[in-house]
Amino acid sequence: MSIQVDHDAVVVGSGFSGIAMAIALKAAGRDDFAILEKADEVGGTWRENRYPGCECDVPAHLYSYSFELNPYWSQSYAPADEIQDYLLYCVEKYDLRRHLEFDSTVQDAAYDDETGTWTLTIATSWGTLRTIRTRDVMLGVGALHEPHIPEIPGLETFAGELMHTATWDRGTTVSRKRVGVIGTGSSGVQIIPPLAEDAAHLTVFQRSAPWVMPRSNTLYADRLIDTFEQHPAAMRAHRAKLKATSDLRERGITSAPKLLKAASRLALENLHASIKSPELRAKLTPDYAMGCKRVLLSSDYYPALASPNVTVETAAIDHVEPDAIVTAGERHQVDVLVLATGFDPLGSYRYLGIKGAEGHLLSSDWDAGATAYLGVTVPHFPNLFLLLGPNTLLGHTSDLQMIEAQVGLVMQLIRERDRRHLKTVGVRPQVVPEFLAELDRRSKQTVWASGGCDSWYLDEEGRNRTLWPGSVAEYEKRTTRPEMVDYHFA
Ligand code: N01
């Protein structure tokens, strides 16, 4: 009996993950798919994050698809707009626009045991609902997507302009205004220098001092761009070098104490050279081991904090009033308040209502934490594939490498299922406990666990459910040659 579906596959989300998945489906001649996107344009992270100073702190030639290298990156670290343009270029080049359905928010997905198909319920911003039936669902909904809004008493009473970095309104101007920024992670470190330049006064509310390494962002000379354009092999060699050094740094920061020590020394020298005031320097000296949280790269962050119109407040925030942030004993008046407070990791996956085989609910199965085999497949959720799912983010190198490996794995699984003329593929439940035990064992040996900090890497029980604890090369190997016995075909 052949089952009627609207599409063979539905890709949810059109950021780097969704676009990579769609390109792979297309390349395999599996043209019957839709890409559902809740917004009105592609881009994911790079469509949403438009705050001043937003860029990618991973080198541009590594933060691009390996199969679509871009000779035209203007500088070693690309600004957000340029990355968004790159994604738009990919959409046109691979003829994906006709697969895209905008203003289509997937509310829930339900698996039908009988037919082995999924039915997605999709809402528009107008409130209308529709359904799509499909065999495969690929979720590229973004791992760091749902803004984390801190629970600070009185925050809702703030009467000035209030924004999270991921919801920055491009019309906002800060000149002649008093601005407050809460948070000094990757987003905070990027937004603070341009705000310090424009605002009348900037108060930075820092809870933990980050580790900051100097970074030079060089513009690529026209001659080099021409060389990359005319000699793709030179560009590939450049990328290979970036990949090797980034992987090494990632491994070093995570679990090589000697390398960490040397890097920590460099970061403290950077702090010393940039900040002359001993009092400010003390405030900016991290009190946990480097690598426990993401190491930040910036050469204009410390100089911005040393500007005369900038105050670094390290006292805990007590509450917010309509025009001020109040810390122990001090009232900081602000007109604009920016929350650079990060994201709810894997939040977008949790908020989707996903009902799998035999009534399994993803949200319930993930009660004790989000888990997936190699971050991609979840027991009892056949023909459902996660991209950048649990334990597959990277701390300090390009997540695109993980996305490409995952897309490759998904393609192999569905190809194998079809080769066997079967309806479904999913991970065997027996395989997962051992995999999770391995993740826990390896994560405990990293600086994330031993570095003496709280970070979004670990959950409340101190378990890592976000980052991959091995090397990129190892992940690539495990996904390029998957153990088909780990999967159940039916
Ligand atoms: O968020 P974060 P982010 N009161 O969670 C503070 C990616 N990314 O948006 O450290 C006061 O790192 C919090 O303080 P503490 C990247 O993967 C990539 O900056 O918890 N402060 C911290 O300082 C990154 O890791 C790029 O003590 C509060 C900050 O807010 C991830 O996104 C660029 C608070 C949150 O830092 C998240 O980065 C940007 C409270 N109640 C982001 N709650 C690239 O360039 C939180 N904080 C690739």
Ligand 1 contacts CB of residue 300 (under 6 A): no
Instruction: Answer yes or no: is the C-beta of 298 below 6 A from any ligand 1 atom.
Output: no
Q: What's the Cα-to-Cα distance from 38 to each of 128, 139, 141, rounded to whole Å?
A: 13, 13, 10
288 lines ligand 1 (CB under 6 A): no
Spatial separation of the C-alpha atoms in residues 397 and 338, rounded to whole Å? 27
* Rounded Cα–Cα distance for residues 39 and 36 (Å): 9
Tell me which residue has its CA closest to atom 35 in ligand 1: 341
16 contacts: CB under 8 Å, gap ≥ 6 = 44, 45, 87, 140, 399, 400, 403
Could you tell me which residues come within 8 angstroms of residue 177 by beta carbon, excluding any fewer than 6 positions away?
199, 200, 335, 336
At 232-242, the pLDDT tens digits run 999 999 999 99
Determine the CATH number of domain 155-216+242-339. 3.50.50.60
Least confident of 51-60, 176-185, 252-261, 377-386: 252-261
Pocket test for ligand 1, best of 64, 211, 325, 341 (most atoms within 8 A of CB): 341
Q: What is the pLDDT of residue 1?
A: 53
Pocket test for ligand 1, best of 49, 186, 211, 317 (most atoms within 8 A of CB): 186
SS3 assignment, position 320: strand
Of 253 and 399, more confident: 399
Q: Which residues of 30-67 are buried (b: 16+ CB within 10 A; e: fewer)?
A: beebbbbbbbeebbbbbbbbbbbbbbbbbbbbbbbbee
Q: Around Cβ 330, how many Cβ atoms within 10 Å?
A: 13
Protein residue with least CA distance to atom 48, ligand 1: 56
Pocket test for ligand 1, best of 187, 393, 468 (most atoms within 8 A of CB): 187
Task: State how far the Cα of 320 lies from the Cα of 314, in Å rounded to an integer.
Answer: 15
In terms of Cα–Cα distance, which of 428, 379, 409, 426 is closest to 477? 409
In the reported structure, the alpha carbon of residue 453 is separated from the centroid of ligand 1 by a whole-number distance in angstroms of 13
Q: Does domain 7-146+344-489 have CATH number 3.50.50.60?
A: yes
Distance CA 393, CA 153 (A): 32
What SS3 state is found at 426? strand
Q: By the 8 A CB rule, do 173 and 421 touch?
A: no
Segment among 214-223, 225-234, 256-265, 338-347 with least mean pLDDT: 256-265
Closest to 402 (Cα-Cα) out of 322, 477, 484: 477
Q: Is the pLDDT of residue 2 over 90?
A: no
Residue 144 alpha carbon, nearest atom of ligand 1: 32
With a cut of 90, say whether residue 349 has pLDDT above it. no
For the chain, the average pLDDT equals 96
Do the first three CATH levels of 7-146+344-489 and 155-216+242-339 match, i.e. the same topology?
Answer: yes
Beta pairing, strands 100-101 & 161-164: unpaired
pLDDT tens track for 150-187: 999 999 999 999 999 999 998 999 999 999 999 999 99
Greater pLDDT, 246 or 383: 383
Confidence at residue 135, expressed as pLDDT on a 0 to 100 scale: 98
> For residue 247, what pLDDT is reported?
86
Complex ipTM over 0.90: yes
pLDDT tens, residue by residue, 453-480: 999 999 999 999 999 999 999 999 999 9
pLDDT of residue 89 exceeding 90: yes
Among 122, 119, 141, CA closest to 44: 141
> What residues does each domain of the chain span?
7-146+344-489, 155-216+242-339
- Residues 50-72 have a mean pLDDT of 97
Provide the pLDDT for residue 486: 98
CA distance 343 to 337: 17
Distance from C-alpha of 332 to C-alpha of 199, rounded to nearest angstrom: 14
Task: In whole angstroms, give the CA distance from residue 138 to residue 385.
Answer: 5
Share of the chain above pLDDT 70, in %: 100
pLDDT score recorded for residue 34: 98
Distance 455 CA to ligand 1 centre (A): 9
pLDDT in tens, 133-150: 999 999 999 999 999 999
Are 102 and 37 in contact by the 8 Å Cβ rule? The answer is yes
The pLDDT of residue 250 is 82
**Please, which pLDDT band fits residue 253 given cuts at 50, 70 and 90?**
confident
How many Å separate Cα 327 from the centre of its chain?
Answer: 31
> What secondary structure letter does DSSP report for 416?
H
Tens-place pLDDT, residues 15-52: 999 999 999 999 999 999 999 999 999 999 999 999 99
Full-model pTM: 0.97
Closest CA to 21 of 410, 396, 475: 410
Given a cut of 80, whether residue 82 has pLDDT beyond it is: yes
DSSP three-state, residue 98: helix
**Between 349 and 253, whose confidence is greater?**
349
